[in-house]
Amino acid sequence: MAVRAAIAIIFCSMALAQDSPEPILQRAIALHQAGRVEQAIPEYRAYLKARPDNVDARSNLGAALATTGRYDDAIVEYRAALQGRPGDIRIWRNLALAYYKAGRISEAATELTAIHTAQPADEQVILLLGDCWLRQGENRKVIELVTPIEKAEPNNLAVAYLLGTALLREKQVGAGQVLVDRILRNGDSAEARFLMGTAKMSAMDFAGAIEEFQKAATLNPKLPDIYAFLGLAHKESGDLEAARADFQKELQQNPNEFESNLNLAVLLKEDQNYDGARKLLDRALRVRPGDAAALYQLATIDLDTGKLEQARAGLESIIRQEPKFLEAHISLAQVYYRLKRSADGDREKAVVRKLAAERDSQKDK
């Protein structure tokens, strides 16, 4: 009997070993480490069906998905991993990076802000958060964030570039020029030329800005935002076809760049390509949720296509957010008149006259 019991135990152990999912995980890790990521992904998924609470395996799956560019799927896995191990900085950082690479800049900034609070000395997180805020137009936040690092590390060119960009976009040209000069002391570079172009844009020297941006693009055609700003300079100089080509080139290498999506959408709207314009505006709003300029363009598309109630609701919402948005008041007056709401239209016309007078008085100063 004892022999039979021993044999039974041996067979039972063998069966359990055969049913164990651990060999699947070992196979997934081996494939992943060998660079065969596409083959590793289904192995990780098979393992997680049996062991859904294994945080490391789920995090590895997120990393594999991110490697293949499937960032939205990676985000799902990283979030699930964090539920099993809240506060794990490595997973948390990977989640923020996945949001960033997916173009979900607002969500990336939210995660990075929380990570920065937990680890305020992490310079990589600071630079990434600063870039997110820069993309969202939060220049003053960038200045506050990186100024202490610039003072402590004056030779840190990455910090100088980030801070210089924010200062110049806030039209603090003198302070920005100091950083441009510091970068130039290390030799001519695309980054320095880009900052010089930004400074000339702030001074309304659009021809000079175009020259600097073109030099920057020649030195580094992959420099983030370079074609977006070249497009803005061409647009301000009146060369809309060149601007269109620049915005398209920027979106080829960075589909989520805000200014290119917004401005190319405006050009498509003028061509009455409303579907194409909507797609670009939706993408712009993923980068800057609630941006009044992008929402205004969507509302004017509704106006142009006869969706008057949608246009009215959109414009009223924008004006609640930005009460002095002159163009939104002008469009809302048009909507009210077309809806036969003459009293509301007259009220908006009065607001338009007042805001236009205020704008003219500011120009005269």
pLDDT in tens, 245-265: 999 999 999 898 999 999 999
Q: What is the domain range of residue 339? A: 290-365
In this prediction, residue 146 carries a pLDDT of: 94
In a domain, 330, yes or no: yes
- Burial class of residue 162 (count of CB atoms within 10 Å of its CB; 0-12, 13-18, 19+): buried
Half-sphere exposure of 299 (CA within 13 A, CB side): 26
In a domain, 125, yes or no: yes
In this prediction, residue 322 carries a pLDDT of: 94
Listed residues 91, 108, 136: the one ending a domain: 136
Listed residues 89, 119, 136: the one ending a domain: 136
Q: How many C-beta atoms lie closer than 10 Å to residue 16's C-beta? A: 9
Residue 119: left (phi > 0), alpha (psi -120 to 50), or beta? beta
In a domain, 109, yes or no: yes
In a domain, 251, yes or no: no
In a domain, 340, yes or no: yes
Q: How many C-beta atoms lie closer than 10 Å to residue 361's C-beta? A: 9
Looking up tokens 């695309």 gives: 190
In this prediction, residue 180 carries a pLDDT of: 85
Residues 104-119: tens digit of each pLDDT: 889 999 999 999 999 9
The DSSP string of 27-41 is HHHHHHHTT-HHHHH
In a domain, 268, yes or no: no
Question: What is the domain-level CATH number for residue 107?
Answer: 1.25.40.10
In a domain, 212, yes or no: no
Residues 49-75: tens digit of each pLDDT: 999 999 999 999 999 999 998 999 999
In a domain, 241, yes or no: no
Half-sphere exposure of 113 (CA within 13 A, CB side): 10
- Comparing C-alpha atoms, which of 223, 229, 187, 238 is closest to residue 211? 229
Exposure string for 285-298, b = 16+ CB within 10 A, e = fewer: bbbbeebebbbbbb
In this prediction, residue 246 carries a pLDDT of: 97
Listed residues 120, 136, 152: the one ending a domain: 136
Residues 12-54: tens digit of each pLDDT: 444 434 567 889 999 989 999 999 999 999 999 999 999 999 9
Taking 70 as the pLDDT cut, the residues of the chain under it are 1-19, 363-365
| The total number of structural domains that make up the chain | 2
Contact between 217 and 223 under an 8 Å Cβ cutoff? The reply is: yes
In this prediction, residue 17 carries a pLDDT of: 42
Contact between 283 and 256 under an 8 Å Cβ cutoff? The reply is: yes
